[in-house]
Amino acid sequence: MTAPPRVPTLVLGGTGYVAGELLRLIAAHPHLELVAAISDSKPGERVAAAFPHLASAYPETAFVSAEEGLRLVTTLPACSVLAAAPHGVSAALIDRLLSAAAAAGTHPRVVDISADYRFSDADAYAAVYGHAHGAPTRLSDFTCAVPEHLPTLTTPHVAHPGCFATAMLLALVPLVKMALVEPVLYVSAITGSTGSGRSPTEGTHHPRRHSDLYSYGALAHRHAPEVVSIVERLTGQPVELNFVPHSGPFARGIHATTQARLVRPMSSAGVRAALTEFYAGQPFVRIRNEAPRMKDIVGSNYAELSATAHGRSVAVMSVIDNLTKGAAGGAVQWLNRIHGWDQATGLTAPAPGWT
């Protein structure tokens, strides 16, 4: 039996951590073929120079310019675009690619991992990010959700929620959608340093972050309104989210604790049973009886959740890898669905453990 042709795939924003994770996943995917890693800052430089751990997969592959990416989307009848360009840059770049493709009669499908297409309203985006949206007329072409929460995609393109948002949404959406909790929600979450991107900052510099733990953006983080908008759209229920993010002394992973008040008293086992039912048939979400640990999922596309209830108080703990399930892995999962493949294709490698 002849194997189906592989889908030509472009990665935008090619030198960041998320792009590196996308390239790693594409290399192992049976149906995707990298045709361009686009980086306007390093065109002509070998991928292996930016990501030495990918040298075996891309020994001679070099980054190309945005102009070359534009040429490719106009010559390939159908391709996939995984966009990991910075916030504020991605919207206009994607719009330019899609406009050129439409003029040429080609049909790329896009999964955006930046924040630029997470809101459906340009004013809401501007209120959070402090600048006008780069392509407001393109917003209606995108839907933002984690794959597990949207059975049917009605737009040609997808925006994947952020890493913090993914960890929160996996707990919040079932609690609200199943009407288990009152609409005032509290989340405390800790992320690894890779969540801050590749460029060194005061918060990611190792001597400052090592053996330390601190909060930032308490009750004012930009992911909170994104999460609220997604929860309300998926559940039809207004919610209040109180979010306190923390920087942890590790490179990869997110641990989020969601607390809320139950509508009626439930046992811990009862809450876990409800979560298990909600995620039935979803291969990447596992509900555990014991507290989830990041070492069990870091480096994989799996998420693990557990819950504890006492009277009308409930706490749901969720762990994900911020670069995989929270970004590149979730994007490839969406791409699998867009092309009609099993959503787990190319993503079932277990966590390495002991990282």
Active-site position among 7, 22, 70, 163: 163
Q: How far is CA 351 from the centre of its chain?
A: 17
Let me know if 79 is a catalytic residue: no
Active centre residues (catalytic): 163
